[in-house]
Each structure stands twice: as C-alpha cells, then as structure tokens.
Amino acid sequence: MKQSRRTFLKSTVAVGAASLAGPALIGTAHAADDTIKIANITDVSGGLDIYGQPQVACLELAVDEVNANGGVLGKQVELIKYDPQSNIQLYTQYATEAATREQVSAVFGGVTSASREAIRPLLRRYNTLYFYPTLYEGGVCDRNFFCNGSTPAQTIEVLMPFVMEKFSGKKVYVIAADYNYGWISAKWVKHYTEANGGEVLDTEYFPLDVTDFGATIKNIQAAKPDILFTLLVGGNHMSFFRQWASAGLAGKIPMASSDFGVGNEHIVLTPEESNGMVAAYAYMQELETTANTAFLERLRAKFGDDTPYVNELAVSAYNAFYHWVGGVERAGTTDRLAVIKALEDGTPFNGPGGRSVIDPRTHHAILDVHIGEVENNAFRVLESHSQRPPSDTAQFCDLLSNPNDNQQYVIGTKA
C-alpha cells in the first residue's frame, strides 16, 4: 500500500480522535474539501468480474445522475474505484486505504460473503459506513453495515412454496457451493422446504473449482427428487448444467435457484440447458415497469454497446448509493452517526426493481421480490411479491435495542 508515514499518522490520529470524541471529527475533515469522497471495492477482474462489472456500471450511473443534479449537500461526489481482482487480501488492503488515507464517507462493495466478512469488521473499526450491495445468506447484524440485496427469507421463503406447488413436489435435492453462502443458504432451503411440508433428500457441496459433476448427476437420479435446488456459484459450476443436459435430463427434474442468473448463467448456457429454471430476485432486467424502462434507457445512454446485462446485484448497488445520498441529505452532514440515524428513519427509495426501504432493526432492505422462469436466455417474470421484509435476519437482530451488536447470525443457532 502506498502510504507515507505522515498520512498514516494523520489518519491514525484522526481515527484515534474520532473514537475518543465521537465520529463528528471525520465529518469536519470532509467539510474542508469541495467534494465528498466515497469508495467502491468490487471485483472487476479475475474470476468474480462477471458479478462485479454490472455492479460498478450501475454505481457509476447513480453517481453521474446525482452529480448532474447538483451533487450531495451541494458538493460533487468523487467515486474512488478499487479493483481487488477477486483476491480477498486486496479487499482488506483497499478498505484500509479507503478508510484511512482517503477518509471516504462510505464504502460500497464486496461480492462474495468471504470478501464482505474480510472488510466489514475493518470498516467498523475505522468508523466508515459500509454498504454491501449483493444478495447473500443473511444474518449480519452490525449498525455500521447496510445490505441492499435480498436474503433467503425474502427470496427462498416465497420461491419454495411456489415451486413446490408449480411442480407438485415435496422431495427436494440441494446442490450448493462449498463456502458460507452455499452452506447457510442450503440451511434456509431446508428450513422453508420443511415449513411447507416437504423434505430435503440430500445436500451436496462443491468447491468452486469442481468441473466434473458426473457422480452427483447419477446420485440425483438415484434419489429421484421432485425438485432440484441449485446454489452453485461461478464459471466452473456452470458445467453442472451442461453435463445435466447432456445426460438427457434437461426438463426431466424441475430446477429452482436463488442465485442462478446473477452470473449470467441463463445467457451463457443454451436455452435447452437453462429453460425452465425458476429463480427469485429483487430485480430482473425483464421487469416491464416505467421505472425500470427509464432506468435501462439511462444505462444504455451511458454505456452504449458496452451496456451490461443487469441483475439484482447491479441494481442493489444503484439503490445503495441512492440510500446513502438520501441519508446524507436528510442528515445535512456526512457525519457517520447522523447518516445512520437518517437511514434508520424508513424513507423509501423507488428503484428500478420497486420500492426499497431500509429496515432500522436489521439494516437490511425491505424489497419487492419477483419470481421468474428462464425462457430462451431471459427471465419471464411470473409473479411479484410486494415489500418482503428481511425476516431471517430479524429473527436474531435488533439494532434499535442492541446497537452495539456485531456478528453474523446463522440459522439453527440461538440468538
């Protein structure tokens, strides 16, 4: 990290003083400049760039829009972009740099849950607001942290009964990525399957470098489930759908997922390999609402032929920035605690996917959730659920009565 001793001293003193005298000092440090700095730490190269690139595009669009309308508190927003190259070590390095040397007002970013957990404690220590714009397994309870994506209670809770009824099946087989997202989400799938009178036959976990799914495909056929629920992540795992189709099983066992499509799986795979997959998200590009049409037009005007396919992750980044802008405007300052209090007042932001409200108890977003089915490389929206609360995290987390809480709760553990 490039940092001179002097800037290091300055930042350490500032952080030290802030922790003594309250974070107001950080706010005044910004007031000296005529811009407000924010940082984005998102993978736009390496294995995860397929998730990160649309997020950064939408965040840039949001920053441009706000700056064109006069900025925040009359100041232009300066976006400092870091690319951690799908490498967790770089996350911590850049987060430290953003919080100390750059003294940003807020950090946006993180793709995998592992990268989020690498920088979340660090940003809390440095008293720097952190917005995580990615759907994840839920449960993080931290007053310095805001999640703008969906969590299992918002998506899987409506998806599970939907597919169990649509395919009139009770027996579910789960295949998941072998890290905290897959493990915790699989627990939620089991929870909601059983809550709807079904049963999970088996759950298999795959490290992210697995490309040969032959044995699993035979095991699934032997188990004969009514529904196959996939929580696979990344490019290697796409092989599963290829091998599934080439074994002649496409369409034989219905599939559902809470993350299929955010890695453009439904575009890369052929229609034969991906048709019929049912998924639930807080946003789908195919939504035909005036807000979404206008949003897509603005995105196309900015990026032209390079416009990425937009998914929930990208729109969450867009929403996250607008929530922060609203919080700062309502607080009248970039002071961290004042902004947190303003964000806890429940003011909605009407984004491309619908209304998004920050739940003051959990700092997660209350979102409209849409269920869609993959049809010829696109999602067909089947039904929408209005204003789903993050009830999974809310089971354990109440930041209003316990503002110093700082942990990630996992289903099955006692609060």
Partner 1 sequence: MDYIIVLILQVLYSVASLALVCAGLAVVFGMMRVINLAHGEFIMLGGFTTVLSANAGVPLMIAILVIAPLAVGIAGYLIERLVVRHLYGRMVDTMLATWGLSLLLVGLATMVFGNQVAGVAAPFGSVTIGAYGVSLYDVFVIGITIAVLVASYFVLAHTNLGLIARGAMQNPEMASSLGASPARIYSVTFTAGAALSGLAGGILAPLSGVVPTMGAAFVAKAFITVITGGASILTGTITASGILGGISTLTTFAINPVIGDVALLLTAIILLRFLPYGITGRFFRGAN
Query: Which residues would be at the binding site for partner 1 (CB under 8 A)?
Result: 45-47, 49-50, 178, 204-207, 209-212, 214-216, 218-219, 221-222, 224, 235-236, 238-239, 242-243, 245-249, 252, 264, 268-270, 272-273
CB of 366 to partner 1, least distance (A): 33
- Say if residues 82 and 96 touch (Cβ distance below 8 Å): no
CB of 269 to partner 1, least distance (A): 8
The pairing of beta strand 227-231 with beta strand 171-177:
parallel
CB of 112 to partner 1, least distance (A): 15
**CA torsion through residues 124, 126, 131, 132, sign:** negative
Phi, psi of 157 (to 5 degrees): -60, -35
For partner 1, which is the closer residue by CB, 53 or 103? 53
For partner 1, which is the closer residue by CB, 259 or 344? 259
Phi, psi of 247 (to 5 degrees): -85, 5
For partner 1, which is the closer residue by CB, 132 or 241? 241
For partner 1, which is the closer residue by CB, 271 or 360? 271
CB of 135 to partner 1, least distance (A): 20
CB of 214 to partner 1, least distance (A): 5
For partner 1, which is the closer residue by CB, 210 or 378? 210
312-331 helix and 49-68 helix, angle to the nearest 10 degrees: 40
CB of 107 to partner 1, least distance (A): 24
CB of 50 to partner 1, least distance (A): 6
Phi, psi of 104 (to 5 degrees): -70, 155
CB of 80 to partner 1, least distance (A): 23
CB of 176 to partner 1, least distance (A): 11
d(CA 195, CA 198): 7
CB of 53 to partner 1, least distance (A): 9
Using left for φ > 0, alpha for ψ between -120 and 50, and beta otherwise, residue 157 falls in alpha
For partner 1, which is the closer residue by CB, 131 or 206? 206
CB of 266 to partner 1, least distance (A): 12
SS (H, E, C) the chain: CCCCHHHHHHHHHHHHHHHHHCCHHHHHHHHCCCEEEEEEECCCCCCCHHHHHHHHHHHHHHHHHHHHCCCECCEEEEEEEECCCCCHHHHHHHHHHHHHCCCCCEEEECCCHHHHHHHHHHHHHCCCEEEECCCCCCCEEECCEEECCCCHHHHHHHHHHHHHHHCCCCEEEEEEECCHHHHHHHHHHHHHHHHCCCEEEEEEEECCCCCCCHHHHHHHHHHCCCEEEEECCCCHHHHHHHHHHHCCCCCCCCEEECCCCCCCHHHHCCHHHHCCCEEEECCCCCCCCHHHHHHHHHHHHHHHHHCCCCCHHHHHHHHHHHHHHHHHHHHCCCCHHHHHHHHCCCCCEEECCEEEEECCCCCEEEEEEEEEEEECCEEEEEEEEEEECCHHHHCCCCCCCCCCCEEECCCCCCC
